[in-house]
Structure 1
Amino acid sequence: MKTFIQNGDVITIPAPTAGITSGDGVLVGNLFGVAANTAVEGEPAEVATTGVYTLPKATSTVLALGARVAWDNATKVVTTPGTGRYAIGVAVNDAGNGAATVSVRLDGIGTVAS
């Protein structure tokens, strides 16, 4: 197809302000993904928009398998959906109070703060 560019599971973007580190959650506008490489601001960066990733979680947040999750861009952690947070997918494991991470299946769709 003449207009096809790529599947979109991993896309290349300019690294945002302050750059990114491989494995970090990245929010640029309404696009959320996980950095596949480390890049300084403005350099090409690969960002995965689908798949399952272990991401940092607000330690006091309790998430059950299958729970909708959101990204808190101020603190750079996964938490429950709420005002000012960006829906990103679902938890694929239980992550209780005190847990520092949760595995998340990314939706791969554009997001907006609720």
Structure 2
Amino acid sequence: MKNKVQKGGVLSVVAPYAVTSGQGVLVGALFGVATGDAASGAVVEIDRTGVFDITALTADVGAQGAKIYWDNTNRRLTVTVGTNALVGCLTAAKGGSDTTARVLLDGVVR
């Protein structure tokens, strides 16, 4: 196939804020995990698919399979819908004292 550009699991994006490796990054409808550190406005690669442990609202609880959202203001996952973007689902239950959530990303926010 001559028209395929790349697989698309990892994409280069312009960092909307300073990011560190392993941090969630939301750019428009693209969500992924930074593969390295980057200053705001610099190019950073994000991994858009797979299972990751990502910073989450500590007080939240959720069962395996529950939908999980990105709170871009606080730059963390949450179970609260509100204006937050749906980024995936929990692959393991999240307890109320957990600082991270294990999430399956599919690469496009909803």
Asked if Structure 1 and Structure 2 have the same fold, meaning a TM-score greater than 0.5 normalized by the shorter chain, the answer is: yes
User: Deviation of residue 3 (structure 1)?
Assistant: 1.7
Residue equivalent to 1:33: 32
Matched, 1:67 2:60: no
Q: Quick check: 1:81–1:87 contact (8 Å CA) kept in 2?
A: no
Kindly provide the amino acid, as one letter, of the partner of residue 76 in structure 1. R
Kindly provide the amino acid, as one letter, of the partner of residue 92 in structure 1. T
* TM-score, normalisation: structure 1: 0.89
User: How many Å separate the matches in 2 of 1:92 and 1:33?
Assistant: 16
Matched, 1:6 2:38: no
User: Deviation of residue 75 (structure 1)?
Assistant: 1.0
Gaps of 5+ in 2: none
The percent identity for this pair of structures is 38
RMSD: 1.3
User: How many Å separate the matches in 1 of 2:86 and 2:15?
Assistant: 21
Kindly provide the amino acid, as one letter, of the partner of residue 14 in structure 2. P
2:58 aligns to what SS in structure 1? coil
Q: What are the equivalent positions in structure 2 for 1:78-93 lying under 5 Å apart?
A: 78-93=77-92
Matched, 1:56 2:55: yes
* TM-score, normalisation: structure 2: 0.92
Gaps of 5+ in 1: none
